[in-house]
Amino acid sequence: MLSLRVRKTLTVPSGDQFRLEAEFEAPVGVTILFGPSGSGKSTLLDCLAGLERPEAGYIAVGNDVFFDDARRIDQPVRARRIGYVFQHLALFPHLTVAENIAFGLRDLARPEREAKVAAMLERLRIAHTATRRPAEISGGEAQRVALARALIISPRLLLLDEPMSALDAATKRALIADLKRLRTETALPIIYVTHNRDEAITLGEQLIVLEAGRVIERGEPLRVFAAPSRLTVARLAEVENIFRATVLARDEERGELKVRLTGEGQDSFLEIPLGDYAVGEEITVAIPSGDILLAASRPTGLSARNVLRGEVASVTSLGGEMRVVVNCGVPFVAAVTRVAFDELGLGQGREVWLIIKAHACYVVEGS
């Protein structure tokens, strides 16, 4: 278990002060560190690794304390035995793959060092690259080399800083499969920084969201992304429908709010779950595109609270999915399969009805 409480102040290029104040625990498995650029994710990793010294706090894995300002403990980088895969990998260009991986084993006798490197090359399926240099291998192979170099020291903690940001989709899928396997094989905490929602859901057991140096949300990734409580998280989770709304009425008995979305030429009205909001108050409502159903004719006999008439404004193909923008006074984005799109006969200018359950609408904080 990783336990941390960190306070660190930095001067950013603009001359302003940035303050990181974060506290959380990360068990064995993958904890996703999520947040916008400049939120403090990489600074937090550097504090864990010992590359940055916090002003105050506590960092430990199990009973091994890396940093404790109260007891004046500050283990140097090498003593912490932390595996770190940097965003830009930081492989040594003049060394071969095998030499890069062996870099952290300089204290071992040569036969033992070579045996460990050979085993790691096989484990990550890159033995064929052993004598090549970083410029002579693919992006996916380079990622595996960086991962092998981090793992070969038998780390207490593994840090991965956006390890797939420069990879194509096929290479990402292969590397995700490798990381899933390593997650079960290595009983250690893994901190994984990413901006990618799919990576977070696929790999993470826990999600920690940072904004302006502070933890603003945490929990199981699917739960957080399904109903984020903060506008920052909704945007990062790529929730397409985010509207400013005015509360028109409260219905305590039915547990609903009626809200108005102000559009061009006409307003749209929604019923959403009851919250602690007063009539006349402005709120922000988010609706995932996948929670909006489309109908080619006016539906009847539904339990869904919201049925809105609109017109298809635009259509975008995203692989096997179609992104349909429907103008109902305000533009709603719905995601449907290509099969459903064809069966409904959708196209620009087509009249359609949106079907939205009240519980698919949720209020997010922030502006």
Which tens digit of pLDDT belongs to each residue from 62-116?
Answer: 999 999 999 999 999 999 999 999 988 889 999 999 999 999 898 889 999 999 9
Q: How many CB atoms lie within 10 A of CB 260?
A: 17
- Give the E-state strand segments of 46-205 in sequence order: 56-61, 64-68, 73-74, 82-85, 157-161, 189-193
pLDDT at 345: 92
pLDDT at 248: 96
In whole angstroms, give the CA distance from residue 360 to residue 140. 38
Kindly tell me if the per-residue pLDDT of 173 is higher than 90: no
Write down the residue that tokens 């916008």 correspond to.
36
Residues 351, 311 contacting (CB under 8 angstroms): yes
243-292 per-position pLDDT tens digit: 999 999 999 999 999 999 987 768 899 999 998 999 999 999 999 998 99
The β-bridge partners of 282 are 246
Kindly tell me if the per-residue pLDDT of 367 is higher than 70: no
| Token pair recorded at residue 340 | 């459903």
Mean pLDDT of 179-196: 88
In whole angstroms, give the CA distance from residue 335 to residue 134. 41
pTM: 0.82
pLDDT at 37: 86
CATH of 241-364, one of 3.40.50.2300, 2.40.50.100, 2.60.120.330, 1.10.1760.20: 2.40.50.100
Question: Which pLDDT band, with edges at 50, 70 and 90, does 186 fall under?
Answer: confident
Kindly tell me if the per-residue pLDDT of 230 is higher than 70: yes
| Distance, CA of 19 to chain centre | 22
Kindly tell me if the per-residue pLDDT of 55 is higher than 80: yes
Domain extents in the chain: 2-236, 241-364
Kindly tell me if the per-residue pLDDT of 236 is higher than 90: no
In whole angstroms, give the CA distance from residue 123 to residue 308. 55
pLDDT, mean over the chain: 91
Kindly tell me if the per-residue pLDDT of 26 is higher than 70: yes
Handedness of CA 340, 345, 349, 351 (dihedral sign): negative
Q: Does domain 2-236 have CATH number 3.40.50.300?
A: yes
| Token pair recorded at residue 197 | 């929602």
In whole angstroms, give the CA distance from residue 118 to residue 184. 21
Residues 336, 274 contacting (CB under 8 angstroms): no
